[in-house]
Amino acid sequence: MADLAPLSLNDGKTIPRLGLGVWQVPEESVADVVSTAIGIGYRLIDGARIYGNEAGMGEGIRASGVARDELFVTSKVWNEDQGYDATRRAVEGSLKRIGVEYLDLCLIHWPCPAQDKYVETYRALMDARADGQIRSAGVSNFQDAHLDRVIKELGEAPALNQIELHPAFQQAQMRAADEERGVLTQSWSPLGRMTMFEAPEIKAIAERIGCTPAQVILRWHLQLGVSVIPRSTNAGRLKENFDTLDITLTEADMAAIAGLDQEDGRIGPNPDEFEGN
């Protein structure tokens, strides 16, 4: 199987290329979904306090029977939990709900620039790492200006920046900004809520290779060199997504997908404006 080697983070740690995101997976079913995914071969599980399913996520991790040190578990600090003391409490809360002794990665969920707390929030993550509560510190939905402020004031580039990224919103500038700063990019909503499944370019590639449009899109992410966390609650689709590791796109395929980028392709909030609680 291709592409099993993990991706390197700037702190010396590594992260799986392909993982499972549990956003919008109901608490009552997330344990089964996580356990099934780990049984298929997933080793990265991406959650967050705001998703409301951390306890079930932890139940699924334990039910899988796979040793904790073979898994990569991510959670995030929500907007209303920003600030130094609140962030330390938020990390402790996630650890208790998931039922693990440490997180492999903890992210600031959104920069919330109007709050002006993301620098002290990241400082709290640095201290949580020093205390062994987390292994790596990162961010989500940060723009280059947010990254630069963290780097300037704290002397450290986050290990990872999880951003909206899919064929209709390819974020070439932000991917380049991450790379220039030594920050790994990870894609959320990588399938773009299926908006490109019927695109002729995607369908043609899928038909030629003999795979699904979702597999084509996930393979595109992997060949960009980013980490990707698709969500599914269906065992068959979980297996299909994981089998993306066996597919290869040609340079012509990659160029065809690059042509699908749209100026107004964003489907989530603008990080410079979003302050939602």
Residue-wise pLDDT tens digits, 53-102: 999 999 999 999 999 999 999 999 999 999 999 999 999 999 999 999 99
> Taking all residues of the chain, what is their mean pLDDT, rounded to a whole number?
96
Mean pLDDT, residues 217-228 taken together: 97
pLDDT of residue 246: 87
- Summarised one tens digit per residue, pLDDT across range 97-137 is 999 999 999 999 999 999 999 999 999 999 999 999 999 99
Instruction: Please indicate, yes or no, if residue 253 is contained in any of the structural domains.
Output: no
Q: What are phi and psi of 261, to 5 degrees?
A: -60, 140
Beta pairing, strands 160-164 & 14-15: unpaired
Nearest CA to 76 among 113, 111, 116, 33?
111
Distance, in Å, from the CA atom of 185 to the CA atom of 162, rounded to the nearest integer, reads: 6
Confidence check: pLDDT of 1 > 50 = no
Is 186 within the bounds of a domain?
Answer: yes
Q: What is the CATH number of the domain that holds 50?
A: 3.20.20.100
Segments forming the whole domain that contains residue 40: 13-195+224-234
Beta bridge partners of 163: 187
DSSP string, 13-42: -EE-SB-EE-TT--HHHHHHHHHHHHHHT-
pLDDT of residue 50: 97
**pLDDT value of position 3:** 57
Residues listed for the chain: 277
Q: Is residue 239 part of a domain?
A: no
Q: What is the pTM of this model?
A: 0.97
Domain count, the chain: 1
Residue 217 has pLDDT above 90, yes or no: yes
Residues contacting 158, CB < 8 A, separation 6+: 122, 137, 138, 139, 142, 147, 150, 183
Please give the positions annotated as active site. 51
Do residues 153 and 174 lie in contact, with contact meaning Cβ atoms separated by under 8 Å?
no
